[in-house]
């Protein structure tokens, strides 16, 4: 595994899992926080090795890159378990058709138009696609996501669709003052959950990355998405 140290990656995984466990205990989290390995630019052999180390949740950002790796994701251990793969990057409607059969969840749904295309293709493929609504909690022009104040309305439109299952929310907050934005996400998540919208289970709150995942756990994140913290810095060009 060129440019990747097995021992370094293994130690990073152990440290992060330990930190998550301590944070859950410290903050009294009701739900377990799961570690997602974000595998952008990571070669398939490294992805498969990380899976063999016990990481069951993988995140991909780019459709084209995922298409080049997906056959390796079919690897199964003796217990018959395959990795669960989520798409977490910006997704154009014309690219949904390429991943509809191979992705377990799309975390970056931020418009009715995108949801309608996912719903159409899921029904055509006889499946129900789990999705999260991506929220632009910091109102940053450089990031995708729906405005917080429009989130409930979007979920109410998505919930009746038969080809998708609204499972919760995802966000990428501004890099500073994460406590503030994670707190706002937790409030929004619980507000929507308390509405008991039929068709929206609101079980997943995906937030937190390498630099802020412990703060995310503090505010109830159920999935933290970590790439650099596991694999080290990579060339994203």
Number of domains in the chain: 1
User: Quick one: average pLDDT of 77-105?
Assistant: 89
Contact criterion met (CB below 8 Å) for 197 and 154: no
Q: What is the residue whose two structure tokens read 């998550």? A: 20
In a domain, 164, yes or no: yes
pTM: 0.94
Instruction: Find the CATH number of the domain harbouring 178.
Output: 3.20.20.10
Q: What is the DSSP letter of 143?
A: S
Distance between CA atoms of residues 104 and 56, nearest Å: 12
Which pair of structure tokens corresponds to residue 33? 């926080």
User: Quick one: average pLDDT of 107-121?
Assistant: 98
Query: For the segment 127-170, what is each residue's pLDDT rounded down to a tens digit?
Result: 999 999 999 999 999 999 999 999 999 999 999 999 999 999 99
**CA-closest candidate to residue 106, choices 176, 167, 53, 172:** 167
In a domain, 221, yes or no: no
In a domain, 105, yes or no: yes
In a domain, 124, yes or no: yes
Burial class (CB in 10 A: 0-12, 13-18, 19+), 201: middle
In a domain, 151, yes or no: yes
In a domain, 108, yes or no: yes
> Across 49-128, where does the E strand assignment appear?
57-60, 84-87, 105-109
Q: What is the pLDDT of residue 7?
A: 86
Query: For the segment 185-227, what is each residue's pLDDT rounded down to a tens digit?
Result: 999 999 999 999 999 999 999 999 999 999 999 999 999 999 9
In a domain, 182, yes or no: yes
In a domain, 67, yes or no: no
> In this predicted model, which residue has the larger pLDDT, 48 or 188?
188
Distance between CA atoms of residues 188 and 196, nearest Å: 13
The count of residues in the chain is 237
Which residue range(s) make up the domain with 164? Answer: 82-89+99-203
Q: What is the pLDDT of residue 159?
A: 97
């Amino acid at each position: 595994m060129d440019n990747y140290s097995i021992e370094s990656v293994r130690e990073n995984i152990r440290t992060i899992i330990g930190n998550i466990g301590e944070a859950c205990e410290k903050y009294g989290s009701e739900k377990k926080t799961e570690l997602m390995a974000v595998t952008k630019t990571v070669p398939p052999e490294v992805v498969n090795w990380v899976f063999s180390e016990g990481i069951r949740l993988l995140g991909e950002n780019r459709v084209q890159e995922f298409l080049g790796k997906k056959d390796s994701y079919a690897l199964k251990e003796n217990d018959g378990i395959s990795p669960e793969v989520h798409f977490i990057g910006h997704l154009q409607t014309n690219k949904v058709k390429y991943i509809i059969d191979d992705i377990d969840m799309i975390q970056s749904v931020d418009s009715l138009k995108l949801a309608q295309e996912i719903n159409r293709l899921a029904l055509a493929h006889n499946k129900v696609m789990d999705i999260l609504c991506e929220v632009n909690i910091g109102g940053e022009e450089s990031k995708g996501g729906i405005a917080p104040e429009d989130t409930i309305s979007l979920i109410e439109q998505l919930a009746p669709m038969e080809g998708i299952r609204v499972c919760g929310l995802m966000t990428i907050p501004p890099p500073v003052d994460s406590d503030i934005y994670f707190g706002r996400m937790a409030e929004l998540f619980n507000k929507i959950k308390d509405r008991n919208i039929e068709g929206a289970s609101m079980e997943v709150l995906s937030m937190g990355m390498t630099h802020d995942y412990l703060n995310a756990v503090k505010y109830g994140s159920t999935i933290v998405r970590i790439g650099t913290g596991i694999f080290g810095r990579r060339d994203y060009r």
